[in-house]
Amino acid sequence: MPGLIVIWACFLLFFRLNRSGIFLHIISGRLIRITCTHPKGTHIVFIMKFEYPEWHRLSRKTEKSTLSSAADKSGLPPGTLVHIGEKHLTASRISVIQYNQQVITECEIESIAELEQLRRDDLMTWVNIDGLSDTRIIGDIGELLNIHPLILEDILSTHQRPKLEEYEDYIYLVVKSISAGYNSHLALQYEQISILLLANHVVTFREKVGEIFTPVRYRLRNRMDRLRQNGSDYLTYVLLDSIVDEYFVIEDHLDEIIDTLEESLLTDPGQKTLQTIQHLRRELITMKRSISPLRELLSTIQHANTGLFQEKTLRYYGDIYDHVLRVTDSLDSYRERIAVIQDIYLSSISNKMNETVKVLTIFAAIFIPLTFIAGVYGMNFEHMPELKWRWAYPALWGIFIGISVGLVVFFKRKKWL
């Protein structure tokens, strides 16, 4: 508890003076690094030991630098750099591409300190960070580019909804990448991608290593590509376009699955069909939640009052906006089809049940008169003349068969069979 009090005291001191920024990095379960930056370039760094209070959820966790839920951060100061989300086994990797119309250089660096040595005003710089488990990297790039601590906190919190935040010197965007996997059924995997757009820099933050930006790298290596002739706003457009294009791939998968589901529903509906319907409904709801906010994000870009977007580039963002509208319309259509499929499934199950009940009722109707006759002659009264008749037993079987055949013919004429 004393450690948290000291942290809060630092926040009040530096933000009250309005002269500094402060970054908190949880190094391990019991160590925290606090970096205070001054506009003149002065840095104050100190590491302190602290304990979470017993009432805090993190006091019972063994790994406190990576959390699974935003609720685990309750009680921590704003701007605390803690990774919230799935912990991937791959280590963080920093790749840098610098280019202009004539030259392009690609390299991987070990720390953000090396990026400072690579900075050149005549080159556009794209920094891609794969993996968010190392919060030190996020804090260092925030110090280098003077990014607000709350933005860095959002980058590490991978449960953000797609959004755009506009600052004086940069713009922060959050989008969701969706990829498809198969494990007996369609399994969609979601990844938060954060983008920092600056005048001569674009910084992308990914949860894990992936291939979604590989086509962008190939385009950058082509000297004649439009990417090499435009600025950071166009590079941001291309990155967003690559993410949105993956939505159409998912859309094709969903279309095939729903078509197959509709065909199987008419031939052999079963418990597996219902499980597939419920799984698709959940996936569509999650997709809609991840994609719909992009409309607001792209609309904000088109009306943004900032010098980071050129007028000619905004038309390209309008194209992405149209793509997002198409995807959201398709998702609405899929949800309606799934609702109809579920209704048809329930109706088919109800019809099967009705058919079963009808057959059982017909059998019961046939055996009711037979049971009545058998019950009458099974009462064992002493004076029953039919019991001593020689042909009584064959006659009784004849009556049984006649009644049964007669009822079957009657039911067929009524089209109940």
Put residue 75 in one of left, alpha, beta given phi > 0 → left and psi -120 to 50 → alpha: left
* Mean pLDDT for the stretch of residues 3-7: 48
Determine, yes or no, domain membership for 394.
Answer: yes
- What pTM does this model have? 0.75
pLDDT for the residue numbered 22: 54
Residues in the chain: 417
- Spatial separation of the C-alpha atoms in residues 265 and 279, rounded to whole Å: 15
Distance CA 73, CA 159 (A): 13
Q: In the listed set 26, 50, 84, which residue is the last one of a domain according to the structure?
A: 84
- Over residues 327-355, mean pLDDT: 89
| % of the chain beyond a pLDDT of 90 | 39
For 315, the token pair is 């038309």
Contacts of 303 (CB under 8 A, 6+ apart): none
What are the CA-CA distances from residue 390 to residues 249, 383, 394, 395, 400 (Å)?
83, 16, 9, 10, 18
Q: What is the pLDDT of residue 180?
A: 85
Residue 376: partners with Cβ closer than 8 Å, 6 or more residues away: none
Q: What is the mean pLDDT of the chain?
A: 82
- Summarised one tens digit per residue, pLDDT across range 145-183 is 999 999 999 999 888 899 999 998 999 999 999 998 766
Torsion of CA 168, 170, 172, 173, to 10 degrees: 120
* pLDDT at residue 20, rounded to an integer: 46
In a domain, 390, yes or no: yes
Count: domains in the chain: 2
Q: Does the pLDDT value for residue 403 go beyond 60?
A: yes
Is 226 contained in some domain?
no
pLDDT of residue 173: 95
In a domain, 49, yes or no: yes
Question: b/e for 98-119, b at 16 or more Cβ within 10 A?
Answer: bbeeeebeeeeeeebeebeeee
pLDDT at res. 78 = 78
Q: Is residue 328, in this structure, part of any structural domain at all?
A: no
* Residues β-bridged to residue 182: 186
pLDDT band at 416 (very low <50, low <70, confident <90, very high): confident
Residue with more model confidence, 205 or 261: 205
- Is residue 328 scored above 90 in pLDDT? yes
The pLDDT-based confidence of 268 (bands split at 50, 70, 90) is confident
Please report whether residue 45 resides in a domain.
yes
- Tell me what pLDDT residue 18 has: 42
Look at residue 202 in the predicted model and tell me its pLDDT. Answer: 95
Mean pLDDT of 238-256: 93
Cα 131 from Cα 63, distance rounded (Å):
17
Which stretch of DSSP H or E encloses residue 31?
A: strand 31-37
For 41, the domain range is 1-84
The neighbour count for residue 188, using CB atoms within 10 Å, is 17
Beta-sheet pairing, 66-67 with 83-84: parallel
Task: Pick the range with the lowest mean pLDDT from 33-47, 62-76, 383-397.
Answer: 33-47
Residue 315 lies in a domain: no
Q: What is the pLDDT of residue 13?
A: 44
Residue 89 has pLDDT above 60, yes or no: yes
At which of 37, 66, 84 does a domain end?
84
22-47 pLDDT tens trace = 555 554 444 455 555 555 554 555 45
Inter-residue contact 90 to 130 (CB < 8 Å): yes
- Backbone dihedral angles phi then psi of residue 83, each to the nearest 5 degrees: -75, 125
Alpha helices in 269-310 (DSSP H): 271-291, 293-302
pLDDT value of position 17: 40
How many helices (H) and strands (E) in the chain? 10, 13
Q: Which pLDDT score, from 0 to 100, does residue 381 have?
A: 75
Domain boundary residue, one of 45, 60, 84: 84
Least confident of 39-43, 233-237, 262-266, 286-290: 39-43
> Per the domain annotation, does 375 fall within a domain?
yes
Which pLDDT tens digit goes with each residue over 101-133?
999 999 999 888 888 888 888 899 999 999 888
Band (87; pLDDT cuts 50, 70, 90): confident
What CATH number is attached to the domain comprising 404?
Answer: 1.20.58.340
Residue 314 has pLDDT above 80, yes or no: yes
Give me the pLDDT at residue 263, please: 83
